[in-house]
Amino acid sequence: MRIFIFTFLLILLASLSHAQSVRGIVLNDDNKPLIGAHIKCDSLNIYAITNGNGEFGLSLNGYVSCSVTVSYMGFKTRHIPFEIRNSDVQLGNIILEEIQFTTEEVSIIGSRSENNIMNVPADISVVSLKKMNLIPSDKIDQNLKFISGVYVDRPYGIFGKSVVGLRSIVGSEPGRQLTLIEGVPINKSDGGGTNWNRIIESDFERIEVLKGPGAALYGNNAMGGAINLVHKKPIKEGVQGNISSSYSTYNTLNADISLQHKLSEGEQSFYYTFAAKGLKSDGYITVPDSIRDETDTAVFIEEYGANARVGYMLNANAYIEMEYNYYDENRGQGTKILLENGAVALYKTHFAKLNYHNHKSKLKYDINAFFQIENYGRDIEKLKKGNYTHIKVNSHREDFGALAIFRYKISNHSLSFGTDYRSGRVYGVDAYQTSTDKVINQGKMDNVNIYASDNWQITNKLKAILGLHFASISFYDGSFSLEDPTQETDFMKGFVGELESKQWTGFSPRLSLQYDFSSTMNIYTVLSHGYRAPSLDDLTRYGFISIGFKNASPNLKPEQIDNVEIGYRMQRNRWALQSNINYALGHDYMYYVATGNKLFGRKMIYNKENVTSVQLYSLELDVDYSITKKATLNINYTINGSKISEFVERPELEGNILAYVPQDIVNLSIFQYFNKLSYSFNVHYQGKMYIDDINEFEIQPLVALDVALNYKIYKGLEVKLSAQNILDEQHMVSSDQMSLGRYLTAGISYVF
């Protein structure tokens, strides 16, 4: 027995003594270390990250023939084969080349797992941190304006809210586009949209965009596509970050800070991040001179926000993280009669989430819990024929839920399974201060989602993604009531009462196929079905919208869409091309339709109704060209088409073009980087667009020219100059509202 134990220990010690290592240093093409690069021994699923000097080490036992995958955000991934026999392996300096084209970017949005865009059969775009730093923008959504197939509806600039449209599907419906932060939805159940103003741009390093129905992957709000925002993360020991301040047109002051701190070197470490912003502006008067009166005032703005994350890295592939965001906004509405500050809108938002991420060998999973509370307030004041009306609006909105996503790789299949629960609440009161009226709307909505998908590598050249999503949506505890009504709210009396509870279920399948002619050229096709239920705002609220006044629509049905698309991608040494054509049929399409009546004799009253059938199509063409290693050119062209093909209840609208769908969009962008100086030159053309259901109010084609220039004074200190809409193009957004004109900014930033 002693001999056996002695022999066993000798064998064990011998095996340990033969443990080998693979070491290397990861550098960029300027021979500077890349800190936090991900290293993976592919066949063994062993991981590491580079330290502050760009160095890494992998410990392996015995003879190994393998390859190392080296990846770093914004750089091309490299695969390096090696063999270990009886000694350590030194891979030396591993040089990573900077990404030149979108097709080379890595994204998670198209398949819920990290993948090179060229390997995913879907229409995906990425805006990197490098580009975000050089695009003239004050809000993060403005970085999306130069992407093909994307329409950013922000006519008042920072002085208004934004709706991001993907292809011709979203239109004026923000609930058709899902917004995610690190995979967690931030759309509100009440209106379905995203408050883009609350997001701190300097806290993010990348924006990923999936165009086309993504309900099979992401559920109810992804009918037109999804946008995922990816946070900056600490990559080395110590504090890194940036601080900036700027001054803009209309006496606009802006300041923000973003920092990341990893407390210790190595894979295991606590870390935290913090970002904050403040913005204050006198604003401009949105009413044209020709119809302006003494009650029209500037749409001023004052907003503050902060975001904090605290986490612990368990190893290179596992972490737990908590996040909290606070946002406070006071925004003038352009009218002042008796109130000291005039008509204003107030937003106070609290958002928090808890995330656990782990990647164990072939299994990878993410578990998240979140909540979002928004307290919206608004003072409305009106003067009609000498009669003054003041209304205080208060709406309390809650969203909370949890989601879990599991991914498992087996053979040539990457399987994904996920489930989530989301719940939304709204309680709104319009309290008339000049009479006794109170208008109250409330409701609750629960959403349960289950999805599964298979990313299947059928052959070396052919791959498929098969996905199926099931949604169960419940609306309950809805009501509309009036307290102490007078003639002010007479027209609403017929709608008072409890609202019928609703239960909807729907499936959203998706099939994507891709054929690779080579590693740099492929063709893909997508067949997908989207499904979306009405929002709480649709079902329960009467109130003002940008084009007039809306009635509640408690009898709305879910809308559905069937989509087919074909795409082609090709990449060469100095240029890359992407093209996509898609066609969609919408059924029971939710759409604002004018009743023909007006409120206060001025504002048109609208109902949201289910249009029997609509047709949508778009064509996108993207060309990237690398002029030099430090200069790139992008040109893209989008054609959008839409029409009401059948509307049983309103046949007179059949054949009309859908509102808020530009007929074509053209973008040209040049980015040039020198040692100290960098600049961008951007041209944006937006074709003709209607903003009403009868195609009477038309916005003519627009051209906007934006430029930005950054100059490094000393090390991390940089001066920034930008101009948006240099040509000072202004247009009517509605019958009495005008868009923002030229907007100039001068600022300074320090990166540490």
Q: Give 188-222 pLDDT, tens digit per residue.
A: 999 899 999 999 999 999 999 999 887 667 777 88
pLDDT 10s digits, 25-64: 898 877 888 887 888 876 666 778 888 788 888 877 665 6
Two tokens, residue 522? 């492929």
Average pLDDT over residues 114-119: 83
- For the cut 90, the answer to whether the pLDDT of residue 518 exceeds it is yes
Residue 690 located in a structural domain: yes
Residue 655: the pLDDT is: 96
Start-to-end Cα distance in the chain: 63
Among 80, 96, 112, the domain boundary falls at 96
Residue 143 located in a structural domain: no
How many angstroms from the chain centroid is the CA of residue 203? Answer: 14
CATH number at residue 322: 2.40.170.20
Average pLDDT over residues 421-450: 96
Count of Cβ atoms closer than 10 Å to residue 293 Cβ: 7
Residue 288: the pLDDT is: 95
- For the cut 60, the answer to whether the pLDDT of residue 7 exceeds it is no
Average pLDDT over residues 366-388: 94
Residue 215: the pLDDT is: 67
Among 96, 131, 166, the domain boundary falls at 96
pLDDT 10s digits, 635-649: 999 999 999 999 999
The C-alpha atoms of residue 239 and residue 237 are separated, in whole angstroms, by 7
- The structural domain count of the chain equals 2
Banded model confidence at residue 16, pLDDT cuts 50, 70, 90: very low
Residue 92: the pLDDT is: 84
- For the cut 50, the answer to whether the pLDDT of residue 278 exceeds it is yes
Residue 416 located in a structural domain: yes
Residue with tokens 């309950």: 476
Average pLDDT over residues 556-577: 95
- For the cut 60, the answer to whether the pLDDT of residue 620 exceeds it is yes
Q: Tell me the three state secondary structure of residue 16.
A: helix
Q: Which residues pair with 530 in a beta bridge?
A: 561
Residue 189 located in a structural domain: no
694-699, long-range: CB within 8 Å, 24+ apart, which pairs? 694/594, 694/653, 694/656, 695/656, 695/657, 697/734, 697/735, 699/731, 699/732, 699/733
- What stretch of H or E contains 10? helix 2-17
Residue 510 located in a structural domain: yes
Residue with tokens 């390997």: 119
- For the cut 90, the answer to whether the pLDDT of residue 172 exceeds it is no
Among 46, 81, 96, the domain boundary falls at 96
Average pLDDT over residues 385-389: 89
pTM of the entire structure? 0.90
SS (H, E, C) 422-481: EEEEEEEEEEECCCCCEEEEEEEEEEEEEEEEEEEECCCCEEEEEEEEEEEEEEEEEEEE
- Domain with 88 in it: 2-96
Higher pLDDT, 114 or 640: 640
- For the cut 50, the answer to whether the pLDDT of residue 322 exceeds it is yes
Residue 628 located in a structural domain: yes
Report, in this order, helix, strand and coil percent for the chain, each rounded to 5.
Answer: 10, 60, 30
Residue 584 located in a structural domain: yes
Query: With the CA atoms of 93, 97, 103 and 108 taken in that order, what torsion angle do they form, in degrees rounded to the nearest 10?
Result: 50
CATH number at residue 73: 2.60.40.10
Percent of the chain exceeding pLDDT 90 equals: 71
Average pLDDT over residues 442-463: 96
**What is the overall mean pLDDT for the chain?**
90
- For the cut 70, the answer to whether the pLDDT of residue 243 exceeds it is yes
Residue 528 located in a structural domain: yes
Banded model confidence at residue 12, pLDDT cuts 50, 70, 90: very low
Count of Cβ atoms closer than 10 Å to residue 467 Cβ: 22
Burial of 729 (0-12, 13-18, 19+ CB in 10 A): middle
How many angstroms from the chain centroid is the CA of residue 326? Answer: 18
pLDDT 10s digits, 60-70: 766 567 778 88
Residue 111: the pLDDT is: 65
Average pLDDT over residues 345-371: 93
Residue with tokens 């080379």: 104
The C-alpha atoms of residue 607 and residue 551 are separated, in whole angstroms, by 5
